[in-house]
């Protein structure tokens, strides 16, 4: 994926596909995102854990990073999902984060725009993500970009000990 230079002020930034050398920065930004969402206690990501899933023989996710100067100041991690109704793949944005001091420069909008372009280029029928209901600023931002917030949908999750119980044949209550 080519570098995408962008600038909405005097300091330029560039969006590019993540590389293995970016793992430390991505994990650092995941930690910052978790702090913002008050979920630091859930973070288990390390470069060693994340690396195989982004760059191993069978990657299951991709990431874009944002360079500003000599540092990575933002990232977006995404993967392909599938819509049975559309019978087409989709692109799902798992996480997007921009350092607070870098916000207001158009970085978040540029990341979302690039991901929407990728979804269209790949023939996806949807580009989706979740947002915490208390994050009113993000919701307004996404709506201004043309996203529809779907309040009638809820996320369901099986994880941790419950998921492990299924793996051991003890799930299903």
6 — phi, psi (to 5°)? -150, 150
Residue 14 dihedral angles phi and psi, to the nearest 5° = -135, 140
Phi and psi based region of residue 87 (left: phi greater than 0; alpha: psi -120 to 50; beta: remaining): left
Largest Cα–Cα separation, the chain:
58
Q: For residue 17, how many other CB atoms are within 10 A of its CB?
A: 13
* Distances, alpha carbon 111 to alpha carbons 14, 74, 106, 145, 156, in Å: 10, 9, 9, 12, 27
Q: Catalytic annotation on 92?
A: no
Catalytic residue among 34, 129, 142, 165: 142
What are the residue numbers of the active site? 142
């Amino acid at each position: 994926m080519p570098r995408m230079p962008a600038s909405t002020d005097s300091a330029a930034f560039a969006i590019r596909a993540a590389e293995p050398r970016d793992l430390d920065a991505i994990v650092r930004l995941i930690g910052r995102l978790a702090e913002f969402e008050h979920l630091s206690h859930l973070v288990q990501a390390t470069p060693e854990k994340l690396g195989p899933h982004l760059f191993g023989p069978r990657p299951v996710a991709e990431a874009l990073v944002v360079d500003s100067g000599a540092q990575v100041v933002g990232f977006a991690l995404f993967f392909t999902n599938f819509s049975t109704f559309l019978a087409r793949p989709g692109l799902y944005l798992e996480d997007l984060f921009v350092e607070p001091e870098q916000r207001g420069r158009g970085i978040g909008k540029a990341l979302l725009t690039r991901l929407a372009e990728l979804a269209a280029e790949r023939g996806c029928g949807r580009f989706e993500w979740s947002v915490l209901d208390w994050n009113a600023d993000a919701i307004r931002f996404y709506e201004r970009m043309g996203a529809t917030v779907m309040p009638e949908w809820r996320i369901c999750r099986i994880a941790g000990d419950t998921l492990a119980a299924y793996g051991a044949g003890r799930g299903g209550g």
